């Protein structure tokens, strides 16, 4: 089932962001009267094809890894048309330079519009997200050096305020590859005073393949000790523990987070334990014996057969941040979120080009499918957010000045504008070949990175 969800979500995600991108080119071309021959989503054998009244062929390919819009004048030799078939129709090269520039830029522009629309919808619907509370701090980490402890709440990073845990990742991502001081503001458990602390970083995560900066910094989100699943016939099941029970202590030792619960149980292999919990506003005590298991190193650890709840709407309200905007506020949120992620991605691309961040972080179709599957399983809003982020990625990557991409075409148009005449066919041919090699090289590199991640 998980594999089916991953494959389906990947196909939906790629088809949507590529389809919107190509629709941007298509609508702009139609606006300026440029005849469009083909509109295709995917590559390879056609699963579906039809033509409209303007003789444009719409088709879906078997491999959902891209798409294209072919306008009259592009690759004439392969179009199978005689001069009389299109003598009264406007070609791509009949269009003015300004029209060609708009048509070319319309694809990436459509991707940004999609992202803005998605964030607008998410904001209008309203979201409930995990607050910036810390559940665990790694020993010897930067977080421990800063003085952060379990149940503290992070409120700022580098002077930028934050409320939700995902923003910790976002703001730390901006510092990947940096050397200097990182400042962090947090409120200790039971206090209302903000503590400001600074730690020194040097080429932080520049050479690592890192998808979780907060984990590298040394913090994990605070997950309550709320039971979300129970192993059938396991110790907890036999003892009568139920889903949605909130564990508050083990053997009279307070438990405030899932991380604490897990650690305490592991320390008690095959031991009799007394669990204090809250069930429907009632306090209960349940005693039973843990399982005893052996890890790879031969050490014994305890287990009771329970899983954490991932339904945050069932979590204690003080751990959550709920937001719902008006229509006007949602519009603003759509633009600000799109700008926020665009800025982060541009910064990341710049750091990769400069070498301050490892190119090993580049992901390909396998990585995208894994992320899409995880987002889909996390819920509709998570999946929509993933679509928005990847749509921004596609828009930005297509603006890179590489021949074959939209950015390369815009560069050629700019050269023609400066020259006052078209570039030579030979220049176009060589630039296209170079673009094919560059794009193919990047795709192969990303695919290899995906394979390495799986090994």
Alpha helix ranges (H) inside 35-75? none
What is the three-class DSSP state of 34? strand
Tokens of 301: 């650890």
pLDDT score, position 83: 45
The band of 360, judged by pLDDT with boundaries at 50, 70 and 90, is low
pLDDT of residue 363: 61
Question: Worst-scoring range by mean pLDDT, 79-83, 352-356, 389-393, 435-439?
Answer: 79-83
Average pLDDT, the chain: 86
| Burial environment of residue 435 by CB neighbours within 10 A (0 to 12, 13 to 18, 19 or more) | middle
Half-sphere exposure of 7 (CA within 13 A, CB side): 5
Residues whose CB falls within 8 Å of the CB of residue 366, separated by 6 or more in sequence, listed in order = 447, 450, 451, 453, 454
Report residue 42's pLDDT band, with 50, 70 and 90 as the boundaries. Answer: confident
Can you list the pairs that 99-105 forms with residues at least 24 positions away whose Cβ atoms lie under 8 Å? 99/32, 99/34, 100/409, 100/413, 101/410, 101/413, 102/28, 102/32, 103/25, 103/28, 103/29, 103/32, 103/34, 103/71, 104/25, 104/406, 104/409, 104/410, 104/413, 105/406, 105/410
**pLDDT of 301 over the 90 cut:** yes
Beta partners for residue 71, in sequence order: 36
Q: Is the model more confident about 73 or about 113? A: 113
Confidence of residue 420 (pLDDT cuts 50, 70, 90): confident
pLDDT digits (tens, 9 = 90+) for 118-173: 999 999 988 888 999 999 999 999 999 999 999 999 999 999 999 999 899 888 88
Domains of the chain: 2-125+387-454 (no CATH), 130-222+321-367 (2.30.42.10), 227-290 (2.30.42.10)
Report the candidate in 290, 241, 285, 287 with the shortest Cα–Cα distance to residue 264: 290
Antiparallel, parallel or unpaired: β 306-308 and 227-230: antiparallel
Most confident of the ranges 2-11, 155-164, 165-174, 360-369: 155-164
Question: Burial of 78 by CB count in 10 Å (0-12 exposed, 13-18 middle, 19+ buried)?
Answer: exposed
Q: What's the residue count for the chain?
A: 455
Share of the chain above pLDDT 70, in %: 87
Closest CA to 244 of 288, 180, 309: 309
Task: Categorize the per-residue pLDDT at 195 as very low, low, confident or very high, splitting at 50, 70 and 90.
Answer: very high
pLDDT at 66: 82
Q: What is the pLDDT of residues 303-329, one digit of tens each?
A: 999 999 988 888 888 899 988 888 999
Query: Contact 275/241 with Cβ under 8 angstroms?
Result: yes
Neighbours of 426 (CB within 10 A): 8
HSE-up of residue 256 (Cα within 13 Å, Cβ side): 13
Pick from 25-39, 79-93, 159-173, 410-424: least confident: 79-93
Q: For residue 127, what pLDDT is reported?
A: 86
pLDDT at 79: 45
**Beta bridge partners of residue 80, listed in sequence order:** none
Q: Cβ–Cβ contacts within 10 Å for residue 271, how many?
A: 12
Half-sphere exposure for 129 (CA within 13 Å, toward CB) = 18
Question: Residue 173: what pLDDT?
Answer: 85
Strand intervals (E) in 270-333: 272-279, 282-289, 291-294, 300-303, 306-308, 320-323
pLDDT at 366 over 70: no
pLDDT of residue 310: 84
Q: What pLDDT does 440 receive?
A: 74
Average pLDDT over residues 394-414: 90
The pLDDT of residue 404 is 82
Phi-psi region of 80 (alpha: psi -120 to 50; beta: other; left: phi over 0): left
Residue that is written with structure tokens 């930005």 in the block: 396
């Amino acid at each position: 089932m998980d594999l089916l969800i991953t494959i389906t979500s990947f196909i939906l995600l790629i088809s949507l962001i590529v389809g919107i991108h190509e629709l941007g080119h298509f609508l702009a071309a139609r606006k300026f009267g440029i005849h469009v021959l083909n509109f295709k989503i995917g590559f390879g054998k056609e699963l579906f094809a039809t033509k409209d009244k303007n003789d444009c062929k719409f088709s879906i390919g078997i491999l959902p890894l891209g798409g294209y819009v072919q306008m009259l004048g592009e690759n004439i030799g392969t179009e199978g048309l005689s001069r009389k078939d299109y003598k009264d129709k406007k070609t791509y090269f009949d269009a003015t330079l300004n029209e060609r520039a708009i048509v070319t830029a319309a694809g990436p522009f459509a991707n940004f519009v999609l992202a803005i629309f998605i964030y607008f919808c998410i904001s209008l619907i309203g979201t409930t997200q995990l607050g910036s509370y810390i559940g665990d701090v790694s020993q010897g980490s930067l977080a421990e050096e800063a003085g952060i402890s379990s149940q503290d709440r992070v409120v700022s990073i580098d002077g930028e305020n934050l409320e939700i845990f995902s923003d910790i990742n976002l703001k730390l991502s901006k510092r990947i590859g940096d050397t200097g001081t990182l400042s962090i503001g947090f409120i200790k458990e039971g206090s209302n005073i903000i503590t400001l602390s600074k730690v020194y970083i040097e080429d932080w995560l520049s050479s690592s393949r890192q998808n979780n900066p907060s984990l590298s910094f040394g913090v994990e989100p605070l997950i309550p000790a709320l039971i979300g699943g129970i192993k059938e016939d396991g110790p907890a099941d036999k003892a009568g523990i139920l889903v949605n029970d909130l564990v508050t202590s083990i053997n009279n030792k307070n438990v405030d987070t899932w991380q604490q619960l897990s650690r305490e149980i592991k320390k008690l292999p095959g031991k009799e334990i007394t669990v204090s919990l809250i069930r429907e506003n009632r306090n209960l005590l349940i005693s039973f014996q843990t399982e005893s298991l052996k890890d790879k190193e031969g050490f014994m650890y305890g287990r009771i057969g329970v899983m954490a709840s991932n339904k945050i709407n069932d979590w204690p309200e003080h751990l959550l941040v709920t937001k719902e905007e008006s229509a006007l506020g949602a519009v603003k949120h759509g633009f600000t979120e799109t700008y926020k992620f665009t800025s982060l991605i541009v910064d990341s691309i710049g750091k990769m080009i400069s070498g301050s961040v490892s190119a090993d972080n580049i992901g390909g179709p396998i990585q995208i499918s894994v992320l899409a599957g995880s987002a889909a399983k996390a819920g509709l809003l998570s999946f929509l957010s993933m679509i928005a982020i990847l749509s921004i990625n596609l828009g930005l990557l297509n603006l890179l000045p590489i021949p074959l991409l939209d950015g390369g075409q815009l560069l050629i148009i700019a050269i023609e504008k400066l020259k006052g005449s078209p570039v030579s066919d030979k220049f176009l041919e060589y630039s296209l070949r170079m673009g094919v090699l560059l794009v193919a090289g990047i795709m192969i590199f990303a695919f290899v990175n995906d394979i390495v991640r799986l090994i």
